[in-house]
Structure 1
Amino acid sequence: MGLFKKNPFGHYLILKKWLIRVFGVLTHRRYRGFNELQIEGSEIIKNLPATNVLFVSNHQTYFADVTAMFHVFNASLSGRVDSIKNIGYIWQPKMNIYYVAAKETMKAGLLARIMAYAGAVTVERTWREKGKSIKREVNPNDTENIGKALDDGWVITFPQGTTKPFKPIRKGTAHIIKNHKPLVIPIVIDGFRRSFDKKGLRIKKRGILQSFQIKPPLEIDYENDSIEEIVEKLEFAIEQHPSFLKVIPTEEIKAMEELNEQRRWGY
């Protein structure tokens, strides 16, 4: 790697590599030590193409979710099966992993700005800003940047755009799938909301079994599936379709939402 080589967003790769290494070392025990990350399906990661892969996942914290994904992806690529044992995998990380994040979140403080350099593709949310509901048009530059990231590598997105469970899938993700035809890999996580605070920075409770399930590629007819059909497929794939509410007590969902609202922080 050239000392001054940059990615398509103008970030120096050597700096990005060191940021991933440092954060990897600092966060490893959050998933293997203080808590235990149970991984399923990591063999899928090893066989993915180098570019145009879109990971879609439910969302439980601002930063802990995507940090876990960086760990799991790099561990899987280095030959580990359903494990992040031994941190050595982070020394040569995959450099073209990106994640979609709200612009206002990634500007909220020095730490967020540093983490953004490690791979954030920031977007302006069209429905919420500074804790208030809004309505504005999609910024075409945001869509273009996500496409640029897909052309360069892998992109992680949380299509609900919120850490609250069972909220609607945003249609923008379906439009990106229709336009760029990426390989779509669903991920379902759990336990992060119980392990960490809402930001995903502070360990709230130890000894939690966190789950991380990687599913096979989603079957999508890019030409014939409608936006609504793709949205529904995403809802089922990341287990956030309203039908899943039938097997979860209403009281539990209400309690989770009330807890999230108490921890709401600039998102």
Structure 2
Amino acid sequence: MPLFKRNPFGHILFIKRFLIQILGAISHSRYRSFNNLQIEGSEVLRQLPDKNVLFISNHQTYFADVAAMFHVFNASLKGRDDNIKNVGYLWKPKLNLYYVAAGETMKSGLLPRIFAYVGSVSVERTWRSSGKDVNRQVKMSDISNIGTALKDGWVITFPQGTTTPFKPIRRGTAHIIKTFKPTVVPIVIDGFRRSFDKKGLMIKKRNVLQSMVIKEPLEIDYENEDVSSIVEKIEFAIEQHPSFLKVLTPKQLKEQEEFIESRSFWGVDNKKKDKENTEEY
């Protein structure tokens, strides 16, 4: 590889590799030590083509979700089965990996600009700007850039465009699917909202069970299926369809919280074991 080889967006690949390695080494403990990331479906990743793959996922933080996916994708491609043990999988990371993000977010400071170099395809949101609701046309250059990224490799997108759960799916994602006909792989994540702040930079709570489920690619009739049908498929695939909503009583909420805590790999489980051992002696 030439020393200054660049990707289609002009980013120098050896710099991108270096940033992924450094940021990956720093963030690894956020999913392996402070919290426990449980993974399902890593074998799906190894069966995918090298290009024109679109990952669709629910969204819980600005950056922690994407960082976890970079870890999981690279670990899985290096033969790890549903784990990210031994950060050595980042020695030769996948460099044609991108994620769609709001340009406004990626320009909000030095750190986001560094994250952007790692693989952001920045787009201008049509419904929100500077904390206010707006209504503007989609920029064709944004669509073109997503197409360029798909032509070069894998792209992660969050079709709700927000970290708020059960918000509507943006129809633009369905249009992208019909236009570029990528392999569409759903991912469902959980636990990131509880363990990190909204930006995903600060650890809010430790000993939280985080989960990432990678599902089989969706079956889509690119030519004949309409946008509404694809949107509905996305809603069900990433478990954000209104039918997944349920109203819980205060008692059910408490039981759910206790259940979540009990699944922590070194939290409540260990405390219970300690108590049992103490009673035995």
For residue 252 of structure 1, report the CA deviation from its aligned partner. Answer: 9.8
Q: 1:203 maps to which residue?
A: 203
User: Are 1:79 and 2:79 matched, yes or no?
Assistant: yes
Q: 1:25 maps to which residue?
A: 25
> Structure 1 residues 183 and 251 mapped into 2: Cα distance closer, same or farther (>3 Å)?
farther
Distance in 2 (alpha carbons) for counterparts of 1:252 and 1:108: 39
For residue 248 of structure 1, report the CA deviation from its aligned partner. Answer: 5.8
Aligned identity (percent) is: 70
SS at match of 2:70: helix
Q: What residue identity is the alignment partner of 1:224?
A: N
Distance in 1 (alpha carbons) for counterparts of 2:26 and 2:176: 33
Q: 1:264 maps to which residue?
A: none
Q: What residue identity is the alignment partner of 2:161?
A: G
User: Are 1:103 and 2:130 matched, yes or no?
Assistant: no
Kindly provide the CA deviation profile for residues 96-140 of structure 1, in whole angstroms up to 9, marking residues without a partner as x.
Answer: 000000000000000000100000000000000011000000000
For residue 225 of structure 1, report the CA deviation from its aligned partner. Answer: 0.7
Distance in 1 (alpha carbons) for counterparts of 2:36 and 2:22: 20
Distance in 1 (alpha carbons) for counterparts of 2:127 and 2:202: 27
User: Are 1:122 and 2:122 matched, yes or no?
Assistant: yes
Greater Rg over alpha carbons, structure: 2
SS at match of 1:246: coil
Q: 1:215 maps to which residue?
A: 215
Q: 1:238 maps to which residue?
A: 238
Give the 5 Å matches for 1:148-167. 148-167=148-167
Kindly provide the CA deviation profile for residues 36-79 of structure 1, in whole angstroms up to 9, marking residues without a partner as x.
Answer: 00000100001110000000000000000000000000000000
Spell out structure 1 runs of 4+ moving beyond 2 A. 246-253
Q: 2:224 maps to which residue?
A: 224
How many matched pairs? 253
Q: TM-score of the superposition, structure 2-length normalised?
A: 0.88
Distance in 2 (alpha carbons) for counterparts of 1:125 and 1:83: 34
Distance in 2 (alpha carbons) for counterparts of 1:72 and 1:90: 10
Q: 1:262 maps to which residue?
A: none
For residue 92 of structure 1, report the CA deviation from its aligned partner. Answer: 0.4
For structure 1, the residue ranges without an aligned partner over 5 or more in a row are 254-267
SS at match of 1:122: strand
Distance in 1 (alpha carbons) for counterparts of 2:77 and 2:247: 35
Give the 5 Å matches for 1:164-179. 164-179=164-179
